[in-house]
Amino acid sequence: MLDARLKRLAEILVNFSVEAKPGQKVLIQATNAETPFVTALVDAVHDAGARPFVTLRDKTVDRALIRRCTAEQMEAQARYELARMREMDCFIGFTANRNLSAWSDIPPEKLKLYNDILARKVHMECRVPDTRWVVLRYPTPGMAQLAGMSEEGFEDFYFSVCTLDYARMSKAMDPLVELLARTDRVRIVSPGTDLSFSIKGLPPVKCDGRMNIPDGEVYTAPVKESVNGVLAYNTPSEKDGFTFENVRLEFKDGKIVKATANDTDRINAILDTDPGARYVGEFALGVNPYITKAMKETLFDEKIAGSIHFTPGNSYDDCFNGNRSAVHWDMVLIQTPEHGGGEIWMDGRLVRKDGRFVVPELECLNPENLK
């Protein structure tokens, strides 16, 4: 018998996140598959009258493929996967991470082939703009360890976060959407950070359970060449099996002109993937009240209440600032007092201080009002 929480989560993903309709095709892509959850998703898709399709992947097998791949191999695999993706109306993708460092020893030039050919063509250029999609992580002992919690405690936390009342959160986001829509200049100030840019004319988008689970952010994008200043991220960021720390980016007229981290050569190799990787495709504010600390899992960390993420790389079509890239790297700055505090200013008005909204119309997004 399926865990009732799995069934509830599957129903949210199918009926709320991707809104599968009768007769539509839904691709379920499970990496390091947890078959009870895959089964729950298949059942929920059938219950909605839609048609489920399943791809099962494994990070260890993918590592073996990518480590010795050729450009021709990636091009062929991209053609096969792209043909299938083009058939789909909806996409639900999840990973049950066993080891965040599973890809850490893949040669950088091979990762570049994977990201620039397969990931870009199948996901950035097809799945993201042309399907209704949602991605998530599945709880594992490794994730519990990263969160500093017992396995049982983490599962309880996970299902609380992932099955919250997203419809209520969505309504509370509306005033922030309205504010961002009429804002021109943004300034972000934190220890080691002083960054300014424009968001004029770029439509804000609510992330309220329809693209990520867990969810809880509102994003827009900077005018591509408007970003100037310095941003020092204060959370670890896992990318391609390596954990980056102490990331510091310097911007001039939108471009990252200097990047340093605990592995400066590695971060610059990623930012040199293509010209767009040194420009920013997304600016977002995190508001999920149940997520309060980083755990080296981007889908959680970027939703931390009182955080922002500022994303080198590709811009989404629904808030497109002209930047295209095979990279889309969400790195997080937390501005709560425990992390040094900070301020967000919009058109000269202080909007958020030390992670809390300080203007009356946005107080509904402070954590105590969303739980």
Report the pLDDT value the prediction gives residue 1, as an integer from 0 to 100. 42
How do beta strands 132-137 and 193-198 pair?
Answer: unpaired
For range 169-186, the mean pLDDT: 97
Q: pLDDT by residue (tens digit) across 257-287? A: 999 999 999 999 999 999 999 999 999 999 9
Of 163-167, 169-173, 360-364, minimum mean pLDDT range: 163-167
Average pLDDT over the chain, rounded to an integer: 95
Report the pLDDT value the prediction gives residue 310, as an integer from 0 to 100. 98
Q: pLDDT by residue (tens digit) across 277-322? A: 999 999 999 999 999 989 888 989 999 999 999 999 999 999 999 9
Return residue ranges of the chain for CATH 3.40.1830.10: 4-162
- Report the share of the chain in percent with pLDDT over 90: 85
Q: For residue 25, give the nearest of 48, 6, 9 by alpha carbon.
A: 48
For range 68-85, the mean pLDDT: 97
Q: Apex CA 80: angle with CA 298 and CA 75, to 5°?
A: 80
The counts of H helices and E strands in the chain are 11, 20
Q: pLDDT by residue (tens digit) across 107-161? A: 989 999 999 999 999 999 999 999 999 999 999 998 898 888 899 999 999 998 8
The tokens describing 172, both together, are 């509370």
DSSP, residue by residue, 138-181: ---HHHHHHHT--HHHHHHHHHHHHTS-HHHHHHHHHHHHHHHH
Class of domain 4-162: alpha beta
CB 314 within 8 A of CB 124: yes
Report the pLDDT value the prediction gives residue 79, as an integer from 0 to 100. 97
Report the pLDDT value the prediction gives residue 174, as an integer from 0 to 100. 98
Query: Phi and psi of 118, rounded to 5°?
Result: -70, -55
Q: pLDDT by residue (tens digit) across 198-229? A: 999 999 999 998 888 999 999 999 999 999 99
